[in-house]
Amino acid sequence: MRPAGSVEPCKIYGSIYLENDPRRANSCFAVVYIEPEQAFADVLVFNETNKLFADKAGLWCPAENREFADYTLYVTTDRSRADFAIHYTKVRSFAGCKQ
C-alpha cells in the first residue's frame, strides 16, 4: 500500500523486498531507483544478512518473500518515476541517508 504524502526514505530499514513486476507496482510502499553513482543517491544501502542488524536507515536485509518483508519497494528503471534513489555500498558504516 502506498503511503499518503511523500515517502521518507530515511525511515525505511529492516527486511526489504524489491519488486520487479510492473503489475504489482501499485501494491508497493514506494518506488525506488537503483542509482549506479553514489553521488546521486538519496540513501546508501548496505545489505545485512541478519534482519536483527538492519535497524537503521540504509541497513536493509533482503527478504525472499514480499509477505514477510517490512517494506516492499518497486524497482524502476526510470529515475523520474522513483520516490527516491539508492546506491549499494560494501561498507556498513557508509550506509544511511545523505543529507
pLDDT at 2: 52
pLDDT tens profile 18-48: 999 999 999 999 999 999 999 999 999 999 9
Other beta carbons within 10 angstroms of residue 2's beta carbon come to 14
pTM for the whole thing? 0.90
pLDDT at 1: 47
pLDDT tens profile 54-92: 999 999 999 999 999 999 999 999 999 999 999 999 999
Per-residue confidence band for 98, with pLDDT thresholds at 50, 70 and 90? confident
Cβ atoms of 31 and 25 closer than 8 Å: yes
